[in-house]
Amino acid sequence: MRKQKVSTAVIRRLPRYYRHLNDLYRAGVERISSNALGKSMGLTASQIRQDLSCFGEFGQQGYGYNVESLRSEVSDILGMNRGHTAVVLGAGNLGRALIENFHFERSGVILAAAFDIDRSIVGRELSGVQVYHADQLEEYLSLHPASIGVLTVPGSAAPRIAERLVGAGVRGLWNFTNIELNVKAPGLVVEDVHFADSLLALSYMISEEP
């Protein structure tokens, strides 16, 4: 149970916790101390305990954490068992790469459909995902509600598509368009993914004098 408003920094670390715990679980590790978990993640034991305390009491002093149980708890916190459904807007190069290579289901998300305006793509299936014409978006979502919209459309089309998604009840936008969306709606969450920003940050860090 969440005890307080959780900081963005803690939220950003939660997927890392899940990933490490999942690796430990798959390796057959039954329990781990906060010291050992922190060492594997490059964090301190106190940071581990402080982060997890935002959501409740986990682990026992002198015993550590039960890996399977903590993995399940973090999965619940991340909403991986809530049946979130996503649709992809833009089935071009990037959209297709996500559809064919990104394992949405491993994050507890069902990828239900994709939308595009290219007649050579519309009507096809990509890795089992049907591609519909963008004009069918509202009709489709009225029959098959989705909570997440994945935007891989050109930046010029992104604001209009985002507004349509939000108007159709989508509550989360995973935005790969490299523009900042100025869409406002109660409860709406926008997660921007800027590949260029990440690359430029890397460029800066390797360009620094040793």
The four Cα atoms 16, 173, 151, 200 give a dihedral, to 10 degrees, of: -50
CATH 1.10.10.10 boundaries in the chain:
8-77
157 is in an annotated binding site: no
Tokens matching residue 176: 């790969």
Model confidence band, residue 1 (pLDDT cutoffs 50, 70, 90): very low
pLDDT value for 76: 94
Give the pLDDT mean for 120-131: 96
16 has pLDDT over 60: yes
User: Residue 7: phi, psi to the nearest 5?
Assistant: -70, 155
92 is in an annotated binding site: yes
90 is in an annotated binding site: yes
pLDDT value for 61: 66
189 has pLDDT over 70: yes
Give the pLDDT mean for 49-71: 85
- Evaluate whether the domain defined by 84-197 bears CATH number 3.40.50.150: no
What is the DSSP-derived secondary structure letter of residue 64?
A: B
128 is in an annotated binding site: no
Of residues 179, 119, 133, 170, the one with CA closest to residue 152: 179
Of residues 46, 38, 44, 33, the one with CA closest to residue 17: 38
Rounded CA separation 142/137 (Å): 9
65-98 pLDDT, tens digit each: 999 999 999 999 999 999 999 999 999 999 999 9
Give the pLDDT mean for 15-21: 94
Of all residues in the chain, the percent with pLDDT exceeding 90 is 84
Model confidence band, residue 4 (pLDDT cutoffs 50, 70, 90): low
CATH assignment, 8-77: 1.10.10.10
**What DSSP assignment string belongs to 24-61?**
HHHTT--EE-HHHHHHHHT--HHHHHHHHHTT---SBT
pLDDT value for 59: 65
93 is in an annotated binding site: yes
pTM of the prediction? 0.88
91 is in an annotated binding site: yes
135-148 pLDDT, tens digit each: 999 999 999 999 99
CATH 3.40.50.720 boundaries in the chain:
84-197
Give the pLDDT mean for 122-134: 97
pLDDT value for 5: 79
Note the maximum CA span of the chain: 62
| Lowest-confidence pick of 6-15, 29-38, 57-66 | 57-66
